């Protein structure tokens, strides 16, 4: 009851797949590798680590091929891993320990914290940490939904959290971020909104990006990651604006003919400036321990909220 299948689905990952496979070669009972018709040396590299290589047509709905890999795994437990992820020795040890204990428990799955390395830095705040991912589960108890890219794996029954993180070599370039945002992630988000029947208005063209920036940079403390945090928060707001624009496109580029359009935008921007003041002051308050400064920021925040 302790065998572990590591399932990896990859397409054109010759630069990153070796380190991924190295990180699990001593942990896995078997490695199930789903090659999505790679055009580079991905398959050749994988063959050095496993004989169980399956071939599938590349599918932008990534979860389809991952689920196929799960169906071919023979281990008692399955660990789902991406080519840009690494299992640390500490995490490998914890996984072995939990699988051993699982013979006497009802736990069917484990959430693993994920360290996102973006533009060369571990991003420790906002949506990027601890970024729990449900990746380890009993054979037959877990499966990815196949409707949207960003959906979590679903596990039947009880789940718990592991302590040690896996490493995720996320975006290494801005171009990579923009490409995935356009071709994969925003498309999935747009499908969700369209399927819900929600009708967007011109206010959403402003609110989508602004709300995302306020959330990631201030509320989730992205500012603590410095310039990386600022740039990533701006990119997230761009992501939100692209989602709006694509939904607007699906709705036929509906025109806004309100004669007071410019005035309405001005009024909305006034509200946004107030919100920026509020969140900036809140952040100052959270980062200072001087009692007089704290009193000053509390009074100022209250004033700005009223104003």
Q: Is residue 153 located within the same domain as residue 209?
A: no
* Structure confidence at residue 264 (pLDDT): 95
Q: What does the radius of gyration of the chain's CA atoms come to, in whole angstroms?
A: 23
Q: Which residue has the tokens 């601890």?
A: 130
Separation of alpha carbons 127 and 149, rounded Å: 17
Q: Domain with 145 in it: what CATH number?
A: 3.90.550.10
Same domain, 157 and 190: no
- Domain's final residue, options 129, 151, 169: 169
Q: Which residues are registered as beta bridge partners of 33?
A: 8, 53
pTM above 0.75, yes or no: yes
Q: Give the separation between CA 62 and CA 66, rounded to whole angstroms.
A: 7
220 and 137 in a common domain:
no
Question: Are both 160 and 223 inside the same structural domain?
Answer: no
pLDDT given for residue 210 in this prediction: 98
Residues 30 and 137 in one domain: yes
Structurally, the chain folds into a number of domains equal to 2
- Per-residue pLDDT at 296 exceeds 90: no
pLDDT in tens, 153-178: 999 999 999 999 999 999 999 999 99
Residue finishing a domain among 114, 140, 169: 169
Within this chain, do residues 159 and 297 fall inside the same structural domain, yes or no? no
Instruction: Please check whether residues 255 and 290 belong to one and the same domain.
Output: yes
* pLDDT, tens only, 2-60: 899 999 999 999 999 999 999 999 999 999 999 999 999 999 999 999 999 999 998 87
Domain identity same for 158 and 22: yes
**pLDDT confidence of residue 294:** 85
Its domain, for residue 238, covers 174-306
Same domain, 149 and 26: yes
For 70, phi and psi rounded to 5 degrees? Answer: -60, -40
User: Are residues 235 and 146 part of one domain?
Assistant: no
Which of 114, 134, 169 marks a domain boundary?
Answer: 169
């Amino acid at each position: 009851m302790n065998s572990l299948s590591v399932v990896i689905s990859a397409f054109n990952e010759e630069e990153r797949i070796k380190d991924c496979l190295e990180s699990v070669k001593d942990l896995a009972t078997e490695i199930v590798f789903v090659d999505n018709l790679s055009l580079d040396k991905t398959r050749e590299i994988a063959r050095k680590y496993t004989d169980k290589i399956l071939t599938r047509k590349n599918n932008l709905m990534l979860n389809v091929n991952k689920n196929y890999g799960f169906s071919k795994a023979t281990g008692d437990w399955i660990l789902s891993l991406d080519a840009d992820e690494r299992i640390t020795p500490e995490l490998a040890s914890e996984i072995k320990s939990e699988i051993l204990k699982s013979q006497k428990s009802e736990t069917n799955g484990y959430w693993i914290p994920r360290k996102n390395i973006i533009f060369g830095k571990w991003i420790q705040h906002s949506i990027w940490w601890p970024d729990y991912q449900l990746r380890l589960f009993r054979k037959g108890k877990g499966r990815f939904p196949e409707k949207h890219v960003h959906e979590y794996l679903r596990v039947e029954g009880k789940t718990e959290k592991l302590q040690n993180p896996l490493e995720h070599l996320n975006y290494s370039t801005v171009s990579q971020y923009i490409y995935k945002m356009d071709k994969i992630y925003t498309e999935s988000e747009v499908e969700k909104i369209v399927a819900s029947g929600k009708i967007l208005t011109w206010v959403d063209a402003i609110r989508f990006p602004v709300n995302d920036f306020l959330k990631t940079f201030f509320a989730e403390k992205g500012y603590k990651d410095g310039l990386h945090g600022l740039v990533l928060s701006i990119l997230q707001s761009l992501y939100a604006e692209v989602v709006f624009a694509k939904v607007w496109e699906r709705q036929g580029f509906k025109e806004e003919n309100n004669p007071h359009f410019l005035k309405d935008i001005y009024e909305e921007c006034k509200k946004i400036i107030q919100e920026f003041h509020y969140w900036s002051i809140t952040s100052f308050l959270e980062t200072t321990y001087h009692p007089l400064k704290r009193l000053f920021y509390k009074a100022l925040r209250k004033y700005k909220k009223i104003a």
